């Protein structure tokens, strides 16, 4: 099995643009909405979107980063202890429309943990989920995204990897065999 | 590095610099957790921890218990005075009986130096030393170094004076190991009778003049005079000790520089430190207490998640 690109730089940018427009359609000027990126890799997409959205709206959008490490259910089954990342949400989420953002949706367990973490900060009016890549038919929990950049059908032995400029990559999405990573 | 190199936290002597850095990094995240409206995470909800205290404690015990509750662990508290220890049960028997009830981790304070190491060899569980006699008090040293890092931006290269009853202090020994591992310069200050023999082999300097020491250091960690461990008189009177080695407001204002004052508690006000110094802007004594919870959460989280 070889690594292959499933979304190149140009369509990648178009996809991010489209996700941006979809958010504007549903949230207008974001006066009662906020964006929360899930640590560590959801933050790249969230920051890209916030940057883009801020060019459309006059006032800056409320944006935070959320770490779900302490809420995960694979605390003991992971190969090594999970190390936490910073959480910074310096606004209230009470009664807001929260858009949770992650890069790849697979089993749904990350999102479950993120929702538990989020609810410890207050009671949002509504929580939506946006992912750049949705790996279909691989869900282990009944959780579905509201906004999807790209649908991918992949095998369990494969992994979807998103490269970001901010992370030293080139804004591309890859499918790689799991062994190459481990 | 995302895993501790040790199964137990018995002392700072037995852990690496990487371990200390990992504990600090994890504690940063827990500090954020304990400052939230809901100060609790579900990480250790499947873990039962027993706090075995064979010696009195207020801060450490509350701090450990709070840390365990913030991690959603189940907690059992045990104090020796109200237990079968007074009927003559041995330490190993006591612990094995508790472990038979399916306990995952033991936090122990004991008046005998080495008691946690002894236990770690004989029972099958994870052990955290919460102070063993005059030997080590690792979580205190970690929270002290963490507080220095938070206040001054880093421990490396900092000049730290540890002042007072070095001979009877487990805080001093753990602090020396921890600060040296993190690259600080350490000076011990106190009357010659309270200075352990050959302590300079640990790579520390010794100073008997409090004014010189304060002029030299960035951070002064003031220790409690441990009268309960002093079997003979080590100095003529508490008043004389306070006169020669007590930290007070006048001494600090003479310095005309930024200095950080720490104390592991409980404070003997008017003996090793006066009220005006303990409550001054230099003091980070209460920050130390706050950081204690975050550090203990980090230690228990990392030990519990460790793979053998």
* pLDDT recorded at residue B305: 85
* B75 & B123 share domain: yes
The enclosing domain of A64 has a CATH number of 3.40.50.2020
* pLDDT recorded at residue B176: 97
Condensed to tens digits (0 to 9), the pLDDT of residues A160-181 reads 999 999 988 899 999 998 875 5
Residues of B in contact with A91 (CB under 8 A): none
What's the pLDDT band for B1 if we cut at 50, 70, 90? Answer: low
Could you list the residue range(s) of the whole structural domain that residue A141 is in? 4-22+32-73+83-181
Condensed to tens digits (0 to 9), the pLDDT of residues B64-105 reads 999 999 999 999 998 877 666 777 788 888 889 888 988 999
* B110 & B51 share domain: yes
* B156 & B77 share domain: no
Residues of B in contact with A67 (CB under 8 A): 29
If one counts the domains in chain A, the total is 1
The mean predicted confidence, pLDDT, of chain B is 92
In a 3-state reduction of DSSP, which class is residue B147?
A: helix
The answer to whether residue A5 scores a pLDDT higher than 80 is yes
Cβ–Cβ under 8 Å, residues A52 and B15: no
What is the bridge-based pairing of β-strands B159-163 and B126-132? Answer: unpaired
* pLDDT recorded at residue B115: 94
**A27 in a domain, yes or no?**
no
* B271 & B300 share domain: no
**A67 in a domain, yes or no?**
yes
The answer to whether residue B276 scores a pLDDT higher than 60 is yes
Measured between alpha carbons, how far is B165 from B162 in angstroms, rounded to an integer? 9
* B75 & B155 share domain: no
If one counts the domains in chain B, the total is 2
* B222 & B236 share domain: yes
**B3 in a domain, yes or no?**
no
The enclosing domain of B84 has a CATH number of 3.40.50.1370
> What percentage of chain B carries pLDDT values higher than 90?
79
What's the pLDDT band for A1 if we cut at 50, 70, 90? Answer: low
Residues of A in contact with B301 (CB under 8 A): 70, 81
Q: Give the residue-averaged pLDDT of B228-244.
A: 86
Condensed to tens digits (0 to 9), the pLDDT of residues B292-303 reads 999 999 999 999
**B6 in a domain, yes or no?**
no
* pLDDT recorded at residue B308: 65
Closest CA to B38 of A126, A113, A84, A119: A119
Tokens matching residue A21: 């427009």
Closest CA to B185 of B209, B212, B162, B211: B162
Measured between alpha carbons, how far is A127 from A143 in angstroms, rounded to an integer? 12
Nearest residue of A to residue B36, measured between CA atoms: A121
* pLDDT recorded at residue A181: 55
Condensed to tens digits (0 to 9), the pLDDT of residues B202-230 reads 999 999 999 999 999 999 999 998 877 77
**A56 in a domain, yes or no?**
yes
Measured between alpha carbons, how far is B62 from B67 in angstroms, rounded to an integer? 8
* pLDDT recorded at residue A78: 72
* pLDDT recorded at residue B50: 95
* B124 & B215 share domain: no
Q: How far from A104 is each of A78, A92, A132, A163, A177, CA to CA, in Å?
A: 19, 26, 6, 12, 16
Condensed to tens digits (0 to 9), the pLDDT of residues B196-208 reads 999 999 999 999 9
Q: In sequence order, what are the residues at sequence separation of 6 or more whose Cβ sits closer than 8 angstroms to the Cβ of residue A112?
A: A73, A141, A143
Distance from CA of B44 to the nearest CA of A (A): 9
Q: Give the residue-averaged pLDDT of B156-181.
A: 95
Condensed to tens digits (0 to 9), the pLDDT of residues B108-160 reads 999 999 999 999 999 989 999 999 999 999 999 999 999 999 999 999 999 99
* pLDDT recorded at residue B82: 67
Q: Give the residue-averaged pLDDT of B253-264.
A: 92
Condensed to tens digits (0 to 9), the pLDDT of residues A66-111 reads 999 999 988 777 777 778 898 989 899 999 999 999 999 999 999 9
* pLDDT recorded at residue B120: 93
Rounded (10°) CA dihedral B70, B72, B74, B77:
0
**A176 in a domain, yes or no?**
yes
Nearest residue of B to residue A72, measured between CA atoms: B43
Nearest residue of B to residue A81, measured between CA atoms: B305
Q: Give the residue-averaged pLDDT of B25-46.
A: 91
* pLDDT recorded at residue B90: 87
* B279 & B294 share domain: no
Q: How far from B169 is each of A34, B31, B119, CA to CA, in Å?
A: 51, 27, 22
**A99 in a domain, yes or no?**
yes
Distance from CA of B34 to the nearest CA of A (A): 12
Q: In sequence order, what are the residues at sequence separation of 6 or more whose Cβ sits closer than 8 angstroms to the Cβ of residue B15?
A: B4, B5, B6, B9, B138
Cβ–Cβ under 8 Å, residues A49 and A19: yes
Which residue in B4, B29, B40 is closest to A84 by CB distance? Answer: B29
- What ipTM was assigned to the predicted interfaces of this complex? 0.77
Q: Does B28 sit within 8 Å of A86, measured CB to CB?
A: yes
The answer to whether residue A42 scores a pLDDT higher than 70 is yes
pTM: 0.88
**B40 in a domain, yes or no?**
yes
* pLDDT recorded at residue B34: 92
The mean predicted confidence, pLDDT, of chain A is 90
Q: Tokens 């102070």 sit at which residue?
A: B131
Could you list the residue range(s) of the whole structural domain that residue B170 is in? 138-284
* pLDDT recorded at residue B36: 86
């Amino acid at each position: 099995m070889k690594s292959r690109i499933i979304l190149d730089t140009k369509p990648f940018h178009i996809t991010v643009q489209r996700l941006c427009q979809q958010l504007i359609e549903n949230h207008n000027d974001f006066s009662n909405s906020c964006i929360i990126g899930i640590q560590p890799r959801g933050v790249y997409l969230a920051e890209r979107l916030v940057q883009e959205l801020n060019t459309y709206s006059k006032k800056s959008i409320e944006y935070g980063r959320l770490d779900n490490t302490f809420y995960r259910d694979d605390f003991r089954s992971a190969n090594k202890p999970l190390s936490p990342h910073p959480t910074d949400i310096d606004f209230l989420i009470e009664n807001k429309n929260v858009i949770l953002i992650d890069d790849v949706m697979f089993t749904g367990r990350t999102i479950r943990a993120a929702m538990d973490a989020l609810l410890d900060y207050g009671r949002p009016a509504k929580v939506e989920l946006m992912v750049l890549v949705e790996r279909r038919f691989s869900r282990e929990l009944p959780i579905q995204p509201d906004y999807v950049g790209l649908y991918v059908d992949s095998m369990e032995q494969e992994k979807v990897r998103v490269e970001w400029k901010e992370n030293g990559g080139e804004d591309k999405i890859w499918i790689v065999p799991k062994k190459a990573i481990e | 590095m995302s895993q501790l190199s040790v199964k137990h936290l018995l002392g700072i002597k037995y852990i690496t610099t990487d371990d200390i850095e990992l504990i600090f990094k994890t504690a940063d995240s827990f500090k954020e957790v304990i400052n939230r409206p809901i100060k609790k995470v579900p990480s250790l909800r499947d873990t039962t921890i027993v706090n075995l205290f064979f010696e009195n404690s207020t801060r450490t015990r509350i701090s450990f218990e709070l840390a365990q509750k913030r991690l959603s662990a189940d907690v059992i508290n045990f104090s020796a005075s109200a237990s079968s220890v007074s009927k003559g049960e041995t330490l190993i028997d006591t612990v094995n009986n508790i472990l038979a009830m399916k306990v995952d981790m033991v936090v122990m304070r004991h008046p005998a130096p080495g008691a946690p190491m002894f236990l770690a060899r004989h029972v099958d569980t994870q052990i955290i030393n919460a102070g063993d006699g005059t030997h080590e008090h690792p979580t205190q040293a970690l929270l002290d170094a963490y507080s220095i890092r938070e206040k001054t931006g880093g421990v490396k290269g900092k000049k730290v004076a540890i002042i007072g009853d070095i001979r009877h202090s487990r805080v001093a020994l753990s602090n020396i190991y921890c600060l040296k591992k993190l690259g600080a310069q350490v000076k011990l200050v106190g009357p010659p009778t309270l200075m352990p023999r050959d302590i300079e082999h640990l790579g520390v300097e010794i100073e008997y003049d409090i004014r010189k020491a304060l002029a030299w250091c960035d951070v002064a960690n003031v220790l409690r005079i441990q009268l309960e461990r002093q079997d003979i008189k080590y100095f003529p009177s508490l008043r004389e000790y306070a006169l020669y080695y007590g930290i007070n407001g006048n001494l600090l204002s003479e310095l005309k520089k930024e200095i950080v004052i720490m104390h592991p508690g409980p404070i003997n006000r008017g003996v090793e430190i006066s009220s005006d110094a303990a409550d001054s802007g230099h003091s980070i004594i209460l920050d130390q207490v706050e950081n204690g919870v975050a550090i203990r959460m980090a230690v228990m989280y990392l030990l519990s998640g460790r793979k053998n």
